[in-house]
Amino acid sequence: MPPLAHEIYKHLLRRVRANQPSITYGELAAGLPARHATHHRSPRLHAALGEIALACRALGLPCLPAIVWSRELRRPSDGYYKVAHPRSRSEKSRVAAWEREHAAVVRDIARYPATLPATLLATVSGADPATGSATRSGNSAARDAKASAP
């Protein structure tokens, strides 16, 4: 998993553990260290959130990126639902799934590891664990991670 995803994971975890269970995409992007500076609409930011979501699923944890939402929509963007709730089609079912997931993140925050295991992150992102560089598509890596999840 790219360093940006590691940094975002740690940032989200700190927020929820500090009893700040919500953050906008803009606040997230602005709160990242300068070495990971990115725009809140950056494909890199959203890809990193997707990788974190897949890693959480592979560990049997609620999807930590459920705490991130769009200020305009007052809920996550469409990309969140594609990864976290791909079967939710209607607006009503999407919002209900997100609300349940958000509550589960807050309830289960003590179960999250301080960092995600490098081998899991490499599997989810399709990166070589030794180098961090991509070795295959994220979609095939995500399928493999999901299939090997407990």
Residue 62 binned pLDDT confidence (cut-offs 50, 70, 90): very high
Where in the chain are the domains? Answer: 3-148
Q: What are phi and psi of 130, to 5 degrees?
A: -75, -35
- Strand 23-24 to 68-69 pairing: parallel
- The percentage of the chain sitting over the pLDDT mark of 90, rounded to a whole number, equals 63
Distance of CA 43 to the CA centre of its chain: 13
Tens digits of per-residue pLDDT, 2-37?
Answer: 789 999 999 999 999 999 999 999 999 999 988 787
Average pLDDT, the chain: 83
pTM over 0.75: yes
